[in-house]
Amino acid sequence: MQTLDTPAGGFILRRYPLRKRETLRAWDAADEYLLAHLGNEISGRILIINDGFGALSCALARYGPTRQSDSYLADWSARENLKANGLDESGVDFIGSLDEPQGAYDLVLIRVTKTLALLEHELIRLRPHLKPESRVIGCGMSKQIHTSTLQLFERIIGPTTTSLAHKKARLIFAAVGADLEIPASSYPVCYPLEGTDFQLINHANVFSRDQLDIGTRLLLAHIPASDGYRDIIDLGCGNGVVGLMAAQQNPAATLHFVDESAMAVASAQATFAGSGLANPARFSQGDALSGFPPASAELILCNPPFHQGSVVGDEIAWRMFNQARRVLRTGGELRIIGNRHLNYHVKLKRLYGNVRQVAADRKFVVLKSFKAG
């Protein structure tokens, strides 16, 4: 366990799901910088947006903040870290990324996201909940804060300045511009799936939200069909396009759409609702397949992410592959798409004892593994 030292005291913080020999902290220098800047001079209603693993929520829990996040893992981590530090979880108001904040806030703290579209959407939604004297402070590592980031704050919130860098982190200060016209959010957006009559619905934090990515295109061309499929899972579903095409090719199957992002699940649900397909469909936000019973699916389709926030690694993919093995019925298949350089075939071979290449292009490879009896 590692301890974050703040003006309010020390807090033990961990990243969830827990891993053996964890080397990554549950906070970064941007969290430290922001909390040091705030000190103990805090009052009024507080809104915290995009708090990663609960560092800000724990350090400011005594002020009864509202916390807004799109991430199941981030909320899980925050709840567990509040409990681990003896803090009352009910003292923090957890709201989802699709929930509308209520009332006006005196202090708003925003972790700058990697996705500018999400940040823009969040700032637009935030703007009506600010008073003329409200303080809006963004934070992030310097490499995450660009001119375009500052321009968003300036255009939507008001006059914006930045701090000096400290331990490669930076703060953003935005004053409320009373005369600014509040723009409308362009999300969710919709675009047609080429070669079909389907429309793909995309909220602001969804991968491939503006156009279909080339990796998914390759996977879509190699989705299997079988009369034996009763349950098919689109794992890490994003806007639901993979599960959508699996449903079309397997009309007797029940489709399960799973993602840790609330916006992704909502996008998949909207996409499927407009498809006209008659398959039974279920939608869930969670930690990959941890909520699924063993031996409950014949086919799992997955385009695994290889980063969590700004951290690049294969931990998420490894967890997905392990959970898929537990959830597959005997003879069931996991089929994935991945960048060639990620060497997923090594992991699949180790886990399943078998792996086959289905298709490949210059950059991507489609692989499948079966669960042996």
313 pLDDT higher than 80: no
Point out the least confidently predicted range of 46-55, 84-93, 258-267, 340-349.
Answer: 340-349
Q: What is the pLDDT of residues 240-286, one digit of tens each?
A: 999 999 999 999 999 999 999 999 999 999 999 999 999 999 999 99
This prediction has a pTM of: 0.94
Q: What is the pLDDT of residues 2-43, one digit of tens each?
A: 899 999 999 999 999 998 878 889 999 999 999 999 998 899
Q: Where are the domains of the chain?
A: 2-175, 189-370
Domains 2-175 and 189-370 share a fold: yes
φ, ψ for residue 204 (rounded to 5)?
Answer: -65, -25
Of the two residues 362 and 306, the one the predictor is more confident about is: 362
Q: What is the pLDDT of residues 185-198, one digit of tens each?
A: 999 999 999 999 99
pLDDT at 310: 47
Classify domain 2-175 by CATH number.
3.40.50.150
Strand partners, 141: 169
Q: What is the pLDDT of residues 344-357, one digit of tens each?
A: 999 999 999 999 99
Q: Domain 189-370 in CATH: superfamily?
A: Vaccinia Virus protein VP39 (3.40.50.150)
